Amino acid sequence: MPDSSSSGGGPLLGDPTDGIDPYLPKNGNLGYRVSRYDLELEYKVASNRLTGTATITATAINHLGRFSLDLATSLSVSRVSVNGKRASRYSQRSNKLSITPATPPPPGASMTVVIKYSGSPKPIRGPWGEVGFEELTEGALCANQPNGAASWFPCDDHPSSKASYRIAITTESPYHAIANGTLQRKRNKAAMTTWVYEQVEPMATYLATISIGPYVRKTLATKPVKIHAVLPERLRSGFDSDFARQEQMMTAFCDMFGPYPFPEYTVVVTDDNLEIPIEAQGMSTFGANHCDGNGGSERLVAHELAHQWFGNSLTLARWQDIWLHEGFACYSEWLWAEYAGDDTADNLARRHHRQLATSRKDIVVGDPGPEKMFDDRVYKRGALTLHALRATVGDDAFFSLLKEWTREYRYSSVSTDDFTALAARHSDTPLTPLWQKWLRQKALPAFPESR
């Protein structure tokens, strides 16, 4: 039966005092490892009503007399079972679902947790504003980074907790529904349509997403990767202009970074304006304002595509290493401009170095702190760190390193130490001074000149 009180018997697994990640100490859970999420969702657009059944497959690491999942308290749980038996007790508090199984799984045992829940989803408010499930004028989307996944499904919301997914979305038939992975089937029943997606490659919770709206779907390319667009009919003309080089961009990044890590790539454009595009595994979401026919958002198109390698396939294990995502994606903007003949990466690096020279010097790129981890200076200084590395080792070694990085750590959780150790194998000079200057001190180093 539901229980609003805390049960005794020791500290709650996943309690903030466990210190899972100092940047987001209230997110993530201990004692088990998730391998798969199976989500059956029904969403009513007009009423913003979500009904869901989450089947979570995991392996116990500890003796699980009690364990927790991240789930927003705006969603009400009606039933919980563990390995086919109703839970002895469960409670919701502070965006945590605490579960006491009838028969505690021992260490090493597999477990299947089934949770039925419903409610009116809304974003989770935190230091970075509101993240997670968001209503649109006509439809919805999910922008989870860094801790918004729990706004629409129960999960172990930590970037190193990567799993496969099956996401089935049922919504009113006039709407198009999309989620991560490939569409397995689509079925209509009365006035509702169910869309079923399978995401085989492991994915962090913050990269999971669904998007629902009055959209049409078009295929942009089949080689070297299937590329699709899902957008309102009224924006097709602007899209054809603003995303005209999406296929060439994919070819360029495959050449630079190695094979695209997923079966296909989808660009979603909402009918609403969005402040910034949204990163998700196998897809990116842009607002109508990024699709005005003027081509002004092409650097963002490059940025989001690069995240498929740097952020989605290779995902940070802890948030302090966010430069591994954003510095790489930002530098990819400059690499694309160079590849396309629009400008050189060196010119762009010099321009941003001059701008950074006039800004505050209060960020350590390799550990910016939770309040500043999305600061634009982390993005630009992270990109400059890569430019400094390129200037030091030369183009051949630099691009060889990028390909080995994406190949050796494909679908893995990564750290700065992983990258610096790999980079050492591609340099004939010690790189420790470079990392010390660019990643571990607040002062902005001098512009890196090529050898």
152-197 residue pLDDT tens:
999 999 999 999 999 999 999 999 999 999 999 999 999 999 999 9
At 107-126, the pLDDT tens digits run 999 999 999 999 999 999 98
CATH code of the domain containing 48: 2.60.40.1730
Whether residues 41 and 184 fall in one domain:
yes
Alpha helices in 292-375 (DSSP H): 298-306, 323-340, 345-357
Whether residues 112 and 242 fall in one domain:
no
Which token pair is 321? Answer: 């290493």
- Of 14, 13, 12, 11, which is closest to residue 25 (Cα–Cα)? 14
Which one of 258, 286, 308 terminates a domain? 308
Confidence of residue 4 (pLDDT cuts 50, 70, 90): very low
Contact between 286 and 230 under an 8 Å Cβ cutoff? The reply is no
Whether residues 240 and 344 fall in one domain:
no
Which token pair is 398? Answer: 């630099």
Which one of 197, 212, 227 terminates a domain? 212
CA distances from 310 to 29, 181, 263, 291, 339 (A): 25, 18, 16, 24, 19
φ and ψ at residue 428, rounded to 5 degrees: -95, 5
Q: Quick one: pLDDT at residue 24?
A: 94
pLDDT higher than threshold 80 for residue 309: yes
In total, the chain counts a number of residues equal to 451
Residue burial 214-245, b: 16+ Cβ < 10 Å; e: rest: bbeeeebbeeebbbbbbbbeebeebbeebbeb
pLDDT higher than threshold 50 for residue 325: yes
Which token pair is 74? Answer: 């705006």
Confidence of residue 451 (pLDDT cuts 50, 70, 90): confident
Which H helix or E strand runs over 238? helix 236-242
Q: Quick one: pLDDT at residue 378?
A: 98
Mean pLDDT over all residues of the chain?
94
At 129-141, the pLDDT tens digits run 999 999 999 999 9
Confidence of residue 12 (pLDDT cuts 50, 70, 90): very low
Q: Quick one: pLDDT at residue 115?
A: 98
Q: Quick one: pLDDT at residue 441?
A: 97
Tokens 């690069």 sit on residue? 306
The edge-to-edge listing of strands for the beta sheet with 89-93 is: 67-70, 96-100, 89-93
φ and ψ at residue 88, rounded to 5 degrees: -65, -35
Number of domains in the chain: 3
Q: What percent of the chain has pLDDT over 90?
A: 92
Which one of 169, 190, 212 terminates a domain? 212
Q: At what angle do helices 323-340 and 345-357 cross, to 10 degrees?
A: 130
At 371-388, the pLDDT tens digits run 999 999 999 999 999 999
327 in a structural domain = yes
User: Pairing mode, if any, of strands 226-231 and 264-269?
Assistant: parallel
Domain of 374, in residue numbers: 315-439
**Cα within 13 Å of Cα(17), Cβ side:** 4
Residues in a beta bridge with 336: none
φ and ψ at residue 37, rounded to 5 degrees: -115, 130
Whether residues 230 and 344 fall in one domain:
no
At 23-80, the pLDDT tens digits run 999 999 999 999 999 999 999 999 999 999 999 999 999 899 999 999 999 999 999 9
pLDDT higher than threshold 50 for residue 332: yes
**Can you tell me the distance from the alpha carbon of 90 to that of 78, in angstroms, rounded to the nearest whole number?**
10
Of the listed ranges 11-15, 226-230, 266-270, 335-339, the least confidently predicted one is 11-15
**Cα within 13 Å of Cα(61), Cβ side:** 9
Whether residues 94 and 192 fall in one domain:
yes
Q: Quick one: pLDDT at residue 20?
A: 79
pLDDT higher than threshold 50 for residue 10: no
**Can you tell me the distance from the alpha carbon of 238 to that of 232, in angstroms, rounded to the nearest whole number?**
11
Whether residues 257 and 398 fall in one domain:
no
- Of 354, 359, 350, 389, which is closest to residue 377 (Cα–Cα)? 359
* Residue type, position 114, single letter: V
- Of the two residues 190 and 351, the one the predictor is more confident about is 351
Whether residues 226 and 290 fall in one domain:
yes
Whether residues 292 and 337 fall in one domain:
no
CATH code of the domain containing 286: 3.30.2010.30
The arithmetic mean of pLDDT across residues 383-399, rounded, is 98
The arithmetic mean of pLDDT across residues 329-334, rounded, is 98
Whether residues 61 and 103 fall in one domain:
yes
231 in a structural domain = yes
The edge-to-edge listing of strands for the beta sheet with 226-231 is: 216-221, 226-231, 264-269, 283-286, 278-280
Whether residues 297 and 428 fall in one domain:
no
Whether residues 261 and 410 fall in one domain:
no
Confidence of residue 6 (pLDDT cuts 50, 70, 90): very low
Contact between 281 and 312 under an 8 Å Cβ cutoff? The reply is yes
Q: Quick one: pLDDT at residue 191?
A: 95
At 403-440, the pLDDT tens digits run 999 999 999 999 999 999 999 999 999 999 999 999 99
Whether residues 61 and 74 fall in one domain:
yes
pLDDT higher than threshold 90 for residue 279: yes
